[in-house]
């Protein structure tokens, strides 16, 4: 499968000025020549050609083609990128011609998979490509770009380098006892190194705590009594009339969502149906969905109707406060000259929301400047594996404290190395062999 020559449309399947069709694999040039009206000249790394795509005697399109010779392409294979005109008929015709001449329709992510197998990118970089395409905020895309450039892999490699040195040293002691000039590794040698490893991993985990929030966005639930102005606030925040606004309580029956970016951070706002005793089955479904949305939120905005009496405002607040989650109290309808309880005063109708937006960023507590300069992990697969690596180092430290023999301490360090390699999709065995042979010159 991995040796097949694959082809796919790389741009959206929409009528547009231009579209790009990408083909990668050993036979790419041969297949392409069968449908092109020119011979591909000799070239070294990359070349651009202009010519016609032919179906027997009929000219299908006039195209610009970029050819990349193995290994000078994204996938590391011979690659052809055809920029054709973006009509659906033309796209389908070119794809059909390439497939009937020997290419296979690519599966999802298969170009990146080939790049990974051909050692052009590691797993972290492959995931970053996807993150970059999907990113919805400037911070998320700059985070993905760091991953793509390999800066995140560098951070993992720094941790791996210390582990590899320790493990290679231990392995040499066991496998090559005749090398007497190599110091015997002991728990005294391991302890300071494991402490350094523990602090490096902890600091990457701490920095990555916010990675998922930055990538997927911060879920904010608007909660409060019907008519407090939640739908008006959603519309004002996203500057769009998405949620229906009426003074009839119970109008919002489903969870309505909208997104906005504040200081480069993506906020997904969820307007929940007012939680009240439902009057009918449809409203009951809405209320349940609201409860789910509130549960999955990272921040709650408790919207209080500031036009009500102070007692009523206080009662409403007490009903909605949930100490388990970060929340902000938002007093709406401040355009009405009433006394309000403490909170961020706004008028959803007047759209003066800068104070609220600043407070939302502050409450989430992400230091945007600090995080912009760092490479951090951003998905649960990566963070789960790093947590396992952290647990394994902590286990090694516990074992050292209990005077456990070195051979057993080493087992946890091996596990930690496997965890780190799983993050980037590398092999521990190969790494360890390289480390032993490069540093200790065994078997010269």
Binding site for ligand GDP (CB under 6 A): 224, 226-232, 245-247, 251-252, 274, 332-333, 335-336, 347-349
Neighbours of 392 (CB within 10 A): 23
Closer Cβ to ligand GDP, 227 or 392, answer by number: 227
What is the closest distance, in whole angstroms, from the C-beta atom of residue 255 to ligand GDP in the complex? 12
What is the closest distance, in whole angstroms, from the C-beta atom of residue 263 to ligand GDP in the complex? 24
What is the closest distance, in whole angstroms, from the C-beta atom of residue 136 to ligand GDP in the complex? 25
Closer Cβ to ligand GDP, 235 or 428, answer by number: 235
Q: What's the sign of the alpha-carbon dihedral 194, 124, 122, 412?
A: positive
What is the closest distance, in whole angstroms, from the C-beta atom of residue 323 to ligand GDP in the complex? 23
C-alpha torsion angle, residues 373, 377, 383, 388 (rounded to 10): -70
Which DSSP symbol is given to 55? E
Closer Cβ to ligand GDP, 225 or 395, answer by number: 225
The structure tokens listed for 263 are 């200081």
Closer Cβ to ligand GDP, 1 or 248, answer by number: 248
Q: How far apart are CA 152 and CA 375, in angstroms?
A: 5
Would you call 397 helix, strand, or coil by DSSP?
Answer: helix
What is the closest distance, in whole angstroms, from the C-beta atom of residue 347 to ligand GDP in the complex? 4
What is the closest distance, in whole angstroms, from the C-beta atom of residue 303 to ligand GDP in the complex? 6
Q: Which helix (H) or strand (E) holds 65?
A: strand 58-68
What is the closest distance, in whole angstroms, from the C-beta atom of residue 333 to ligand GDP in the complex? 4
Q: How far apart are CA 52 and CA 264, in angstroms?
A: 44
What is the closest distance, in whole angstroms, from the C-beta atom of residue 214 to ligand GDP in the complex? 29
Q: How far apart are CA 171 and CA 185, in angstroms?
A: 10
Q: Assess contact for 137 and 217: CB atoms under 8 A.
A: yes
Closer Cβ to ligand GDP, 44 or 247, answer by number: 247
CA-based nearest residue to 124, from 350, 437, 364, 422: 422
What is the closest distance, in whole angstroms, from the C-beta atom of residue 350 to ligand GDP in the complex? 7
Closer Cβ to ligand GDP, 128 or 347, answer by number: 347
CB-side neighbour CA atoms (13 Å) of 207: 18
Closer Cβ to ligand GDP, 57 or 337, answer by number: 337
Q: Assess contact for 173 and 182: CB atoms under 8 A.
A: yes
Establish whether the linkage from the previous residue to 78 is cis, with ω within 30° of 0. Answer: no
The structure tokens listed for 36 are 């092109």
In 290-422, beta strands by DSSP E: 299-305, 327-332, 344-345
Strands 218-223 and 46-55: unpaired
Closer Cβ to ligand GDP, 6 or 331, answer by number: 331
CA-based nearest residue to 82, from 41, 33, 118: 33
Q: Assess contact for 131 and 356: CB atoms under 8 A.
A: no
What is the closest distance, in whole angstroms, from the C-beta atom of residue 242 to ligand GDP in the complex? 11
Would you call 160 helix, strand, or coil by DSSP?
Answer: helix
Closer Cβ to ligand GDP, 271 or 399, answer by number: 271
Closer Cβ to ligand GDP, 247 or 324, answer by number: 247
Q: Assess contact for 346 and 353: CB atoms under 8 A.
A: yes
């Amino acid at each position: 499968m991995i040796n097949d020559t694959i082809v796919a449309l790389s741009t959206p399947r929409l009528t547009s000025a231009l579209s790009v069709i990408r083909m990668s694999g050993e036979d790419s040039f041969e297949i392409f020549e069968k449908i092109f009206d020119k011979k591909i000249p000799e070239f070294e790394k990359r070349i651009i050609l202009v010519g016609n795509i032919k179906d027997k005697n009929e000219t299908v399109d006039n195209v610009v083609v970029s050819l990349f010779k193995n290994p000078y392409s994204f996938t590391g294979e011979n690659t052809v990128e055809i920029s054709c005109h973006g009509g659906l008929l033309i796209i389908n015709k070119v794809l059909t011609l390439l497939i009937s001449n020997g290419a296979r329709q690519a599966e999802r992510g298969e170009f990146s998979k080939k790049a990974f197998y051909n050692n052009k990118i590691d797993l972290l970089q492959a995931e970053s490509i996807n993150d970059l395409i999907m990113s919805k905020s400037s911070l998320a895309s700059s985070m993905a770009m760091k991953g793509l450039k390999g800066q995140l892999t560098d951070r993992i490699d720094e941790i791996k380098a210390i582990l590899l040195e320790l493990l290679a040293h231990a392995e040499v002691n066991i496998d090559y006892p005749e090398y007497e000039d190599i110091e015997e590794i002991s728990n005294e040698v391991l302890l300071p190194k494991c402490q350094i490893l523990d602090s490096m991993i902890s600091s990457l985990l701490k920095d990555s705590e916010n990675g998922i929030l930055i990538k997927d966005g911060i879920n904010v639930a608007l909660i409060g009594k019907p008519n407090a102005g939640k739908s008006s606030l959603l519309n004002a925040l996203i500057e769009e009339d998405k949620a229906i606004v009426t003074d009839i309580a119970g109008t919002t029956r489903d969870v309505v969502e909208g997104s906005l970016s504040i200081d480069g951070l993506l906020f997904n706002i969820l307007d929940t149906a007012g939680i009240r005793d439902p009057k009918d089955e449809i409203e009951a479904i809405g209320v349940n969905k609201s409860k789910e949305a509130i549960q999955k939120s990272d921040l709650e905005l408790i919207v209080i109707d500031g036009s009500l009496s102070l007692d009523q405002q206080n009662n409403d607040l007490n009903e909605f406060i949930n100490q388990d989650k970060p929340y902000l109290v938002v007093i709406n309808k401040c355009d009405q000259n009433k006394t309000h309880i403490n909170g961020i005063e706004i008028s959803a109708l007047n759209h003066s929301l800068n104070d609220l937006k600043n407070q939302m960023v502050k409450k989430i507590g992400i230091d945007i400047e600090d995080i912009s300069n760092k490479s951090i992990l951003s998905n649960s697969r990566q963070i789960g594996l790093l947590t396992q690596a952290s647990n394994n180092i902590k286990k090694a430290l516990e074992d050292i404290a209990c005077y456990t023999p070195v051979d057993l301490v080493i087992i946890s360090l091996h596990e930690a190395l496997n965890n780190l390699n799983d993050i980037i999709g590398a092999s521990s065995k190969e790494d360890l062999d390289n480390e032993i042979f490069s540093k200790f010159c065994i078997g010269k």
